[in-house]
A and B are shown apart, each in its own frame.
Chain A
Amino acid sequence: MSLIREPFSEGDSLIHRLDPRGKVLVAGTFAVLVAVAASPRTAAAGLGLALLWLALAKLPPRRVAARLLVVNGFVVFLWLVLPLTYPGEVLWRWGWLAATREGLAAAGLITLKSNAILLGLIALAATVPIVDLGQALHRLRLPDKLCHLLLFTYRYLYVFEEEYQRLVTAMKIRGFRPRTDLHTYRSYAYLAAMLLVRSYDRSERVYQAMLCRGFRGRFYSLKEFSWQRRDRIFFTLSGLGLLGVAGVEWLLPLAARRLGAW
């Protein structure tokens, strides 16, 4: 019935069985590291590390490809814009349009980085069910408010989606078909407004029901996180991998310069 699913969190691979706290820490560090990297070598090393995690997570390749396609849809625009607007050495000229080498390099770097980060997050963060993710962040001492924001956003996404489905069905069974006319626009405006009002009411009732069951701003998880040997191994190896990526970024140029001087 619901469109919102977490397909990546349903699995039984090594990555799925790891403690979410460790995965979240590694994923966060990885994302920051790759995001600040300036060299394509680092981004490529990051991509390698992410692919390694992805292989361990044994996720359905088609689904992963579908996710990548969404993000790379935005990246396509960068390829269209960056080479033509970035100042630098001109490679091709086509009328008044000129593509620069630096522009292409920048677009390439962004493509590498975004795909590396996305794959890393799919392998490590998306394999944690949202509810566990909220709990893991809570245990990692993230402020309560942020954790609740995450959990409630998730919870009410369902509410929104359900109300939306109900309204769309109500419109369909009375023969509504979208056209390019005022009636269609008005109906869509009603739909949006109704969705907002009804979801608000609904979330109010859900909150009341929670109050009636003694809710006092705290969520409890039935899941006990346990930090085991496999978590220590994964954490250590991933830490080394992250150090390697950082090494490619900062140590390699340094070593190259030394060698050059020598």
Chain B
Amino acid sequence: MSEPIIRVENLTFRYPGAPRPVFQDFTFELLPEQHLGLVGPNGAGKTTLLHLLMGLLKPQHGRILIFGRQVSTEKDFAWVRQRVGLLFQNPDDQLFCPTVLEDVAFGPLNQGKTTAEAVALARETMAKLGLEGFEERITYKLSGGEKKLVALATVLAMEPELLLLDEPTAGLDEATKHRLAHILKELTIPYMIVSHERDFLNETVKKCCHVHTHCCQPE
């Protein structure tokens, strides 16, 4: 059996002031080549788990290993963020540059690519997602579906080795949902999707599991 790319051991996390912890002695594993769906009621901690994996939240106890390396400090997570892409629930949170091209090139530039490389990579990613001609569009004037796809492009342009998607279908129409599912199926990297939409998950992942306080229970 191959080494898991994500391994969470005995993790405890409680939001400040919350009566109960979201996770208590939580254990979780994601194997490579795996496409996993995370389901569970609102407030079960699906988004929290993704944010913990990216180091946006700090657990009170426990270990997180990503690609076999234990990560705990901000510096470790800077390393994680170069390799793992997170698509936020709300694309408005993700897009902040004036134009689409600048936004998609922002990640590659942070990775130390030259302007020419970053622009080439951005254009290539946008072409893959069918976003040709969007380069000079103003990000805040895009439609909801376009914003989502551009947000996905900003993440994929960094050539992540693992993709985390937080409710990618929220607010999308059927056509855009299908387009998104098609894009995901074409990807060659493992991904993990938080979603409430069964149809979408059936189309994009082979396995789903329920997020509980102590573990993720496969269905």
Contacts and interface: CB of A to CB of B under 8 A. Distances in A.
Contacts of B85: 212
A216 B110 contact: yes
Contact of A214 (B93, B98, B111): B111
Contact of B96 (A1, A210, A211): A210
B37 interface: no
Given A215-B110, A220-B106, A220-B109, A208 B154 contact: no
A209 B107 contact: no
A155 B115 contact: no
Given A205-B93, A206-B96, A208-B56, A214 B110 contact: yes
Contacts of A131: 97-98, 102
B141 A202 contact: no
Contacts of A209: 86, 88, 93-94, 96
Interface of A: 1-2, 129, 131, 155, 158, 162, 202, 205-206, 208-216, 218, 220, 222, 224
Nearest to A210: B96
A213 B93 contact: no
Contacts of A155: 96
Given A129-B98, A213-B81, A213-B107, 10 more contacts: A2-B140, A206-B96, A209-B88, A214-B78, A214-B107, A214-B110, A216-B78, A222-B101, A222-B102, A222-B119
Interface string B42-64: 00000000010010100000000
Nearest to B139: A158
B92 to A, nearest CB: 8
Contact of A224 (B56, B98, B101, B115): B115
Interface string B19-47: 00000000000000000000000000000
> Most B CB atoms within 10 A — which of A1, A162, A215, A218?
A215
23 contacts: A131-B98, A202-B93, A208-B51, A210-B96, A211-B54, A211-B56, A212-B81, A212-B85, A212-B86, A212-B88, A213-B107, A213-B110, A213-B158, A214-B81, A214-B110, A214-B158, A220-B105, A220-B106, A220-B109, A220-B110, A222-B101, A222-B102, A224-B115
A211 B96 CA distance: 12
A71 to B, nearest CB: 27
Given A205-B93, A206-B93, A222-B119, A212 B54 contact: yes
B90 interface: yes
Contacts of A213: 81, 106-107, 110, 154-155, 158
Interface residues of B, number: 32
A89 B82 CA distance: 73
Contacts of B93: 202, 205-206, 208-209
A213 B150 CA distance: 14
Contacts of B88: 205, 209, 212
> Most A CB atoms within 10 A — which of B51, B109, B111?
B109
A222 B81 contact: no
Contacts of B141: 1
A128 to B, nearest CB: 13
> Most B CB atoms within 10 A — which of A202, A209, A218?
A209
A252 to B, nearest CB: 45
- What 5 A-B pairs are tightest by C-beta distance, nearest first? A214-B110, A220-B109, A213-B107, A205-B93, A209-B94
B144 to A, nearest CB: 12
A215 B107 CA distance: 8
A212 B141 CA distance: 23
A209 B96 CA distance: 9
A220 B102 CA distance: 9
A160 B93 CA distance: 13
B75 to A, nearest CB: 11
Contacts of B94: 206, 209
> Most A CB atoms within 10 A — which of B93, B109, B115?
B93
Nearest to A154: B98
